[in-house]
Amino acid sequence: MDDYKAMLDELNPEIPELNKRIVYFLQSMAGEDYDGILLLTYPGIFDMVPKKILREKIASTFQSEDMAITMDVFDINYISKAIVAEDGRYVRVDYTLLMSLKIKEDLTLDEERRAEKKELFLKSFKVAYGKNQFWFEELTQSYCFHKKNSMIAIENEKSPQWTFLTYQPGAAMEMFIPKSVCLLLDAG
């Protein structure tokens, strides 16, 4: 994670405390540290979804009996300048992660059916993530892909230390972020 710290200091030298929080977030995600992830989640989200339920949802995603998910590599692609509004500061962070999914094989199916199921998964993932961003790793029998995401770092009255919210443009963001800030974030 020292590589991330050095990279972030280069990308975002103006806000070193945010860089530390991003590194902690990345460590929490890679280490499947659900409490660390929740600690860094924007607290306003808990007004809509209680923390306990969100923790259960995160844990169930990583601990499914039918599928094992791992996130191996993170790349920070872009960190915006801080947008200062009356009620706080906002920073957009675009990142790419390498995810791998190992789907439990249905041994009740014959070899031909299992091959058909695998082919269906391959086609579906290629459509969803793009043929250049997705591949099947034979050695681990895992479906792997690069996934680009964005999150908004927020520092305000509700979040005196930087916390994060997955960025999904649209009206739902305006429940947490002023519309004027959303417009600036949408612009990149």
For the entire predicted model, the pTM comes to 0.83
Show me where the domains of the chain are located: 2-186
Q: Are strands 134-137 and 88-103 parallel, antiparallel or unpaired?
A: unpaired
| Widest CA span in the chain | 62
Which tokens hold the place of 41?
A: 């989640």
The CATH code of domain 2-186 reads 3.10.450.50
List pLDDT tens digits, range 139-186. 988 999 888 889 999 999 999 999 999 998 877 888 899 988 988 887
Which tokens hold the place of 149?
A: 């995401």
Question: Which secondary-structure segment (H or E) carries 97?
Answer: strand 88-103
List pLDDT tens digits, range 62-78. 777 888 888 876 788 88
Q: How far apart are CA 114 and CA 10, in angstroms?
A: 47
Inter-helix orientation angle 16-30/2-11, to 10°: 140
Contact criterion met (CB below 8 Å) for 12 and 18? yes
Q: What was the pLDDT predicted at 7?
A: 62
